[in-house]
């Protein structure tokens, strides 16, 4: 019997942060957050989420922020 085990990315959620200033260029409403989750699956059935990857990008200065670099303002807008 062959077991199909593995991980694969789930769908990506995109969220525009309104009223949040980019910590780098100080423009407001330019940050877009995308969240991708990785799932552990067995026979193509999602079992549980093993990790998620959240990044924010500023459309003005093109700076990309990783989750650990998010400002308090950004974290508040996401929660
Ligand atoms: Zn910016």
Q: From ligand 1's centre to the CA of 18, what distance in Å?
A: 13
> What pLDDT does residue 21 have?
96
Tell me which residues have their CB within 5 A of the ion that is ligand 1: 22, 24-25, 58, 60-61
Q: From ligand 1's centre to the CA of 22, what distance in Å?
A: 5
pLDDT over 90 at 41, yes or no = no
Q: From ligand 1's centre to the CA of 9, what distance in Å?
A: 27
> What pLDDT does residue 51 have?
82
pLDDT over 70 at 26, yes or no = yes
Report the pLDDT averaged over residues 36-45: 83
pLDDT over 90 at 60, yes or no = yes
> What pLDDT does residue 79 have?
83
Cα-based distances in Å from 32 to 6, 25, 62, 64, 67: 29, 14, 11, 10, 13
């Amino acid at each position: 019997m062959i077991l199909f085990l593995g991980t694969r990315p789930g769908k990506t959620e995109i969220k525009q942060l309104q009223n949040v200033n980019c910590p780098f260029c100080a423009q407001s409403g330019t940050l877009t957050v995308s969240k991708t989750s990785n799932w552990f699956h067995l026979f193509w059935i999602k079992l549980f989420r093993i990790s998620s990857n959240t990044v924010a990008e500023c459309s003005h200065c093109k700076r990309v922020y990783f989750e650990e670099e998010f400002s308090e303002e950004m974290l508040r807008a996401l929660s």
